[in-house]
Structure 1
Amino acid sequence: MSASLADRLAAAVETGMARGRDDLARLVALRSVANPAIEPASECAASAALVASLLAEAGVDGVEQIEAPDGSIAVVGRSTGPADRPCVLLYSHHDVVPAGDHDAWSTPPWELTERQGRWFGRGAADCKGNLVATLLALRAVRSVLGEWPLEVAVVCEGSEEQSSGGMEALARERPELVRCDAFVLADTGNVELGVPTLTTSLRGTGSVLVTVRTMAHPAHSGMYGGAAPDALQSLLTALASLRDADGETTIDGLDHEGTWDGAEFDEERFARDAAVVPGVAPLAGGRGGAGVADRLWARPAATVLAIDCPPVSQVTAAVQGEARAVVNLRVPAGTDPKAAQELLVAHLRRHAPYGQVEIRPVSLGQGFRARTDGPGYAAMSRAMERAFGREVVTAGQGGSIPLATALAEIVPDAEVMLLGVEEPASRIHGPDESVHPDELRRTALAQALFLVELAGLDPDAEVGP
């Protein structure tokens, strides 16, 4: 009995879901944090070996594990297709962020656990869930067609969460590993469960470490307070100047009036997703009546990530002689992050009222804006709409994926598409990270449909059993 190619692919993905869950459980069980100070390096090595085995079993040829310049292990492979067909590269990463406080988890972080219709575990969504969706898509295409309809390359990075640039450096050293006509970077997600989303914009980023010194050591607040130059107060004054009363980032000389032209982000949903406490609202409004999406994806955002000063549990009556903080700056695509970081440095120096101010850049990442006018983007939009049963929306991503910019430089003619199984309830990077199996299934089917569509095959054409 014949059925359409799309129906055959959907059935193959559905059949593969049980295997996909098993694969995800095996991957989640490996504590692949690419930092040997947190988890043993053997865990990342075991993770890379498992990824290589799974990709080879899915039919990818030439799978190999390659040590990147930062010491991490990337898994790559490439299968040829008909000579006149394009090449697609499917990207994900097998490293994860640390689990953090295990007591903050409802279930063990390194054990895939099903609860309330979701699968919980560190990396269940970011990014091992994305890898499993890609595996499901590859198996479905092979089982239905019996061959690759186009050239398929895979790259699974081993240190993305560390921002150490291992895969970027490897791609620049060996550009043949990333040669393709279209990149599918499975490392983002949907604005809402069941809403197919293509990420078209990534923020650039830069962090600085600012230190204020005023005295050689703390001074008793009873004897010296009032006249002693308080380093902590000076630092707090400078940090407070980074935002206005509406919460708008107001770094001297940095544009903060951009507007987002894609999908809006509903304030109530954002408040739920971000777990904003009752009586507090998202930071919207202000200049031009900015919405949540404007603040997230079209305007700069300065965030104080950490402050070194005495904790309340160790309070003493002393004026501080030194205090320091890490400030992270996110800027919209199209803004030079280095220039923005320099403006941040100048701003902090200018607004610290007294003391010796030392500021050191600690990270820098370029933003990214995807092309949306190519055949790959059109094929992916159709594939996602068919898989999800509703129209695709576009969104920005608050985070940065430096590799996206690097790949666009290394293979400038290739299209870059960003998608994934993540959605707000996934709580990536936090306790109780999870993935919804329906999102995994739909994303897998979208990738399978994309592969056949880009190869020039008609998803509605009937194929035999």
Structure 2
Amino acid sequence: MTDPTNHASAEPTTPNADAIRAAVDSAFPGVVAELGRLVRIPSVSWPAFDPAHVAESAEAVAELLRGTGVFELVEIRRAPVEDGSELGQPAIVARRAARNGRPTVLLYAHHDVQPPGKDEDWDTPPFEPTQRGDRLHGRGAADDKAGVMAHIGAIRAFAEASGDFDLGLSVFIEGEEEWASRSFGNFLRENRELLEADAIIVADSGNWDIDTPAITVALRGAVAFNLRVETLAHASHSGMFGGAVPDAMLAAIRMLGTMWDAEGAVAVEGLTSAQLDIPAYDEAQLRAEAGLLEGVSPIGRGSILDRIWAQPAITVTGIDAPDVANASNTLIPSLRVRISARIAPGQDAGEAFEALRAHLEANAPFGAKLGFEDVDRGQAFLVDTSGWAVAETRAAMAEAWGKPAVDTGVGGSIPFIAELVEEFPGAQILVTGVEDPDSRAHSPNESLHLGVFKRALLSEALLFGRLNARGA
């Protein structure tokens, strides 16, 4: 997280750079069309959705990888989830062995997507890719089917420009990243020989803006769980007993509000903050990028990016309770809420969950009974930027974008990166992506800026060219 002017590269031009650029230019319309075909597949990995769509998406991606003609193996595989109760969603693996001392690069992305939400919240149908100006709209258009196609497009362009090449390539396109990557660790262990690499490119992040590339070097961790709140053995008429007995909604509202102070900063003892080098980012930029309504103030304390990158955050993302259309005059005996917390780099996710549990139990009003269910924990991550892979990536990005990359943090989480580091401790990790501040990943009207997409694809193809010219 330093000023972008600090990273201008003096490295020489990538070998075959002109040929790689020409290959990207000529193939790009077709790559966008193929991305559109992937977006049309509603590959939501959540349990309530049809898994056949995820399987269809996996097969489509596998066919695209086979079509590159560069891999010795392309297969769809599944691994057991963490508790062994079932198999995870289908993922795609591919491998081309390195030759003549060249390094091997593992390319990661995911082909599953978030649920679309309500159709009426979208300006265009969520699974009908629609180009409006420079942006392609649709669920998964940015997160992360564009990451999948950036890898595939870069492989094609590099191979076309280079002919036969010595660089080793492995590919892992996951099918359940949006549902907590529950089989990720087992998948890595079962496919370790296929996936082992000198450098790993995780194409699931964003860029500083539509004109400036970024390398993500800090990620917050995540803790999410369902909280059940119970106060009554059964529902009762609110007129008969209201004012004498607490219902679950009253208890939940009182308790949840204690997790933040009057400024909206997290007020849970035991959740920590990190010390990071934060670039300039003002309130006007926050308002423009986040869609903050006029008259509504930001929350928290410290610089804005410090709040997003280096401090914890807590969000209530769902409540199971009667909706307004079915709201009767009833005291609700129990309800369930989904709590999603982001954890600052440097704090263990298990430790953070225990801090949240202790806070809620200490602040449960009226003796309300609490239950903690479906707990997910994901570790935060800090990238080591000192290796050759980061240096080569900076040089490729500067060449493709015409300006140096910014080191950024991300308020979101990619918990599986810690698992990659554990399984492949000698590999250098690169977190890149195709998104920009207006991509609205996970939200209605998700979109991909096609200029950003093309430059990200070109950056990766140029990186392959640079790595093919060096020893391991």
**Following the alignment from structure 1 to structure 2, what is the Cα–Cα distance between the partners of residues 259 and 225?**
48
**Following the alignment from structure 2 to structure 1, what is the Cα–Cα distance between the partners of residues 137 and 193?**
37
**Following the alignment from structure 1 to structure 2, what is the Cα–Cα distance between the partners of residues 367 and 104?**
32
- Bigger mean CA deviation after superposition, 86-95 or 24-33: 24-33
Counterpart contact for 1:345–1:359, Cα < 8 Å: no
Counterpart contact for 2:134–2:451, Cα < 8 Å: no
Paired residues for 1:363-402 under 5 Å? 363-402=376-415
Deviation at 1:382, TM superposition (A): 1.2
CA deviation digits over 1:109-168, x for unaligned, max 9?
222221122111221111111111111211111111102241111111111111142233
Among residues 436, 439, 442, which one is paired with 1:423 in the alignment? 436
Deviation at 1:173, TM superposition (A): 2.3
CA deviation digits over 1:4-39, x for unaligned, max 9?
622221221111101101211221121212246323
**Does 1:55 pair with 2:55?**
no
**Does 1:203 pair with 2:220?**
yes
CA deviation digits over 1:193-246, x for unaligned, max 9?
222111112211112332332222344444433332343222212111111111
Counterpart contact for 2:222–2:415, Cα < 8 Å: no
**Does 1:315 pair with 2:327?**
yes
CA distance 1:147–1:340, shift in 2 (3 Å): same
CA deviation digits over 1:378-435, x for unaligned, max 9?
1111111211111211222222222211110001010111111111211112222211
Counterpart contact for 1:80–1:148, Cα < 8 Å: no
Which residue type is aligned with residue 43 of structure 2? S
Counterpart contact for 2:79–2:190, Cα < 8 Å: no
CA distance 1:350–1:37, shift in 2 (3 Å): closer
**Following the alignment from structure 2 to structure 1, what is the Cα–Cα distance between the partners of residues 324 and 118?**
21
Match of 1:462 in 2: none
Counterpart contact for 1:231–1:355, Cα < 8 Å: no
- Bigger mean CA deviation after superposition, 132-141 or 157-166: 157-166
Cα RMSD (Å) of the superposition?
2.1
Paired residues for 1:59-458 under 5 Å? 59-69=70-80, 70-256=87-273, 258-284=274-300, 286=301, 290-361=302-373, 362-456=375-469
Match of 1:17 in 2: 28
Which residue type is aligned with residue 166 of structure 1? S
- Figure out how many residues of one structure are paired with residues of the other and give that number: 450
Counterpart contact for 2:102–2:167, Cα < 8 Å: yes
Match of 1:461 in 2: none
Counterpart contact for 1:13–1:137, Cα < 8 Å: yes
Match of 2:10 in 1: none
Which residue type is aligned with residue 12 of structure 1? A
Counterpart contact for 1:130–1:187, Cα < 8 Å: yes
**Does 1:46 pair with 2:56?**
yes
Corresponding residue SS for 1:33: coil
Corresponding residue SS for 2:366: coil
Runs of at least 5 residues in structure 2 that lack an aligned partner in the other structure: 1-13, 81-86
Which residue type is aligned with residue 433 of structure 1? E
Corresponding residue SS for 2:384: coil
Counterpart contact for 1:202–1:400, Cα < 8 Å: yes
Runs of at least 5 residues in structure 1 that lack an aligned partner in the other structure: 459-465
Corresponding residue SS for 2:339: strand
Which residue type is aligned with residue 454 of structure 2? R
Report the TM-score when normalising by structure 2: 0.90
Which residue type is aligned with residue 73 of structure 1? P
CA distance 1:297–1:84, shift in 2 (3 Å): same
Counterpart contact for 1:185–1:419, Cα < 8 Å: yes
**Following the alignment from structure 1 to structure 2, what is the Cα–Cα distance between the partners of residues 221 and 99?**
36
CA distance 1:51–1:309, shift in 2 (3 Å): closer
- Bigger mean CA deviation after superposition, 440-449 or 353-362: 353-362
**Following the alignment from structure 1 to structure 2, what is the Cα–Cα distance between the partners of residues 323 and 109?**
30
CA deviation digits over 1:337-391, x for unaligned, max 9?
1111101101011112222322314211111111111000111111112111112
CA distance 1:317–1:264, shift in 2 (3 Å): same
Counterpart contact for 1:107–1:113, Cα < 8 Å: yes
Corresponding residue SS for 1:187: strand
**Following the alignment from structure 2 to structure 1, what is the Cα–Cα distance between the partners of residues 319 and 56?**
36
CA distance 1:74–1:242, shift in 2 (3 Å): same
**Following the alignment from structure 1 to structure 2, what is the Cα–Cα distance between the partners of residues 36 and 98?**
11
Corresponding residue SS for 2:335: strand
- Bigger mean CA deviation after superposition, 43-52 or 401-410: 43-52
Counterpart contact for 1:99–1:109, Cα < 8 Å: yes
CA distance 1:159–1:254, shift in 2 (3 Å): closer
Which residue type is aligned with residue 366 of structure 1? Q
**Following the alignment from structure 1 to structure 2, what is the Cα–Cα distance between the partners of residues 54 and 265?**
40
Match of 2:37 in 1: 26
CA distance 1:81–1:351, shift in 2 (3 Å): same
CA distance 1:265–1:148, shift in 2 (3 Å): farther
Counterpart contact for 1:271–1:281, Cα < 8 Å: no
Deviation at 1:304, TM superposition (A): 1.4
**Following the alignment from structure 2 to structure 1, what is the Cα–Cα distance between the partners of residues 218 and 123?**
34
Which residue type is aligned with residue 453 of structure 1? R
Report the TM-score when normalising by structure 1: 0.91
**Following the alignment from structure 1 to structure 2, what is the Cα–Cα distance between the partners of residues 110 and 323?**
32
